[in-house]
Amino acid sequence: MSVTPSPSRRVALLTLGCARNEVDSEELAARLDAGGWEISTDADGADVVLVNTCGFVEKAKQDSIETLLAAADTGAKVVAAGCMAERYGRELAESLPEAQAVLGFDDYTDIAARLDGVLAGERFDAHTPRDRRELLPITPVQRQSAKVVVPGHATVDEHTPAHLRTVLRRRLDSGPVASLKLASGCDRRCSFCAIPAFRGAFVSRDPQELLAEAEWLARSGVRELVLVSENSTSYGKDLGDPRALEKLLPQLAAVDGIVRVRASYLQPAETRPGLVEVIATTPGVAPYFDLSFQHSSEPVLRRMRRFGSTEKFLDLLASARKLAPEAGARSNFIVGFPGETRKDVDELVRFLTEARLDAIGVFDYSDEDGTEAAGFDDKIKVKEDTIKRRYDRLLTLADELCNQRAEERLGSTVEVLVDAIVDGEVEGRAEHQAPEVDGSTTLVAGDEGVDLAALKPGDFVRARVTGTEGVDLVAVPVEMISAAPVSRR
């Protein structure tokens, strides 16, 4: 008896937003692959375009809408998933008839069947959004046993030891860097942030599972791991070990084939001295501090429901640089938060001027649905023209300060991972440069020991900084630290 093969079905996975979303997309890709779907990241010729949306701020939401509309123009059936879909559900479905389905996180485990249905012409009722924090126990240590869908945390067989489980992930690119999701959700209650409501309470991944995934990534040619989450400094609190990240970082750095591990999304109030020391001094761990400061004026931070001050933040940076003088540091800041005064802005300017950050993100405040700050008395809201003026001032200052910081690195030696070679130009990143957000390093020919023409993506070299272009560096490779595996050549 012959079996009629299933017709070919092609889905394009388009990912918007942060690196956490990219990891979620690779979980979706693995599930779709197992369900018989061909996977691509190009909408042309696809039967279904699945857009993993971002719902963080207004611009990100607008980008998601535009991507969904553009996908509909290809003639493919369009499905919205991800944060915006989870956050708005039925409202998004009603306002976007071009999408055949708006799927929430609970649909991820059956994503292949959902797309089969979409292709067959079925219509799915969009979910009614809910506060996903309420799905998990309040006590962190009780969350590991809860049966809740958490994107990026799926296991094929929970009865198999974590280090032996099949990795439920399919890479969507072949570059030498990949994100590794430590955890999902957040227990903080920042008054401007809606993320915990649609991403849920904080849940760590098993360290053995993370190590197994790191080994799997390394076998696929990954050379640098970027650890991502909503709040990496909380890692392990639901596992009964608040020092879990300090222990995990050296283990990840020791994975065969991995030359650099980079931690991101650190909360200043939770960044303990022991963690600072591990990041600053562990071989194979980038001395890089991605710290979520958001502001430095105490009155503004208190209204944000955050902790710290200019002096405390400067002390934290100083403690890192005492251990690693060339350590990289970056952060994001919100200007125009309700109640912000000229004095508060001046305090933020003082902090930025003294902090010597390598990268500074500046955002103008806007109300986010469902947040505490959106409900603040209008009397303390900062006028839009004032917000714009402050934003422009801070953005100009940030550019100047980051350029100066890059110039301070002239003559220094940096360790560069080669990311790509385009039209003969060798692009990579030094220790203080995270993918996509912190600038890059262009390697150029010199008289010293490395043949530029022989370099390949994944090579890890020591280089001398000879120039800058804004925040970007120009450097001459002087020594090969670790060549990419032959399989990448």
- How many CB atoms within 10 Å of residue 44? 10
Annotated binding-site residue? 83: yes
| Tokens encoding 231 | 């709040």
State whether residue 463 is helix, strand or coil: strand
Closest to 167 measured CA to CA, from 99, 218, 124, 123: 218
**Cross-strand partners of 51:** 14, 80
Which of these, 480, 475, 440, lies nearest to 460 by C-alpha position?
480
Torsion of Cα atoms, 230 then 235 then 238 then 239, to 10°? 150
Phi, psi dihedrals of residue 482, rounded to the nearest 5°: -155, 115
Cβ–Cβ < 8 Å for 326, 367: no
Contacts of 244 (CB under 8 A, 6+ apart): 204, 207, 235, 236
Whether 190 has a binding-site annotation, put simply, is yes
Cα distances (Å, whole numbers) of residue 456 to 85, 214, 258, 464: 39, 22, 16, 18
- 37-40 and 9-15: which strand pairing? parallel
Cα separation of 287 and 321, whole Å?
9
402 annotated to bind ligand: no
The answer to whether 28 touches 81, Cβ cutoff 8 Å, is: yes
Contacts 24+ apart (CB under 8 A), 307-315: 307/268, 307/269, 308/268, 308/269, 310/347, 310/350, 310/351, 310/354, 312/268, 313/268, 313/351, 313/355, 314/351, 314/354, 314/355
In contact, 463 and 442? CB cutoff 8 Å? no
Separation CA 106–CA 85 (nearest Å): 11
Give CA angle at 51 (49, 53), nearest 5°. 170
Check: CB of residue 449 under 8 Å from CB of residue 466: no
Beta bridge partners of 404: none
Element (H, E) at 66: helix 58-72
In terms of phi and psi (left: phi > 0; alpha: psi -120 to 50; beta: otherwise), the region of 78 is beta
Check residue 458 and report its DSSP letter: T
Look up residue 304 and give its DSSP letter.
T
Does 54 show up as a binding residue in the annotation?
Answer: yes
Binding residues for [4Fe-4S] cluster: 18, 54, 83, 186, 190, 193
Binding residues: 18, 54, 83, 186, 190, 193
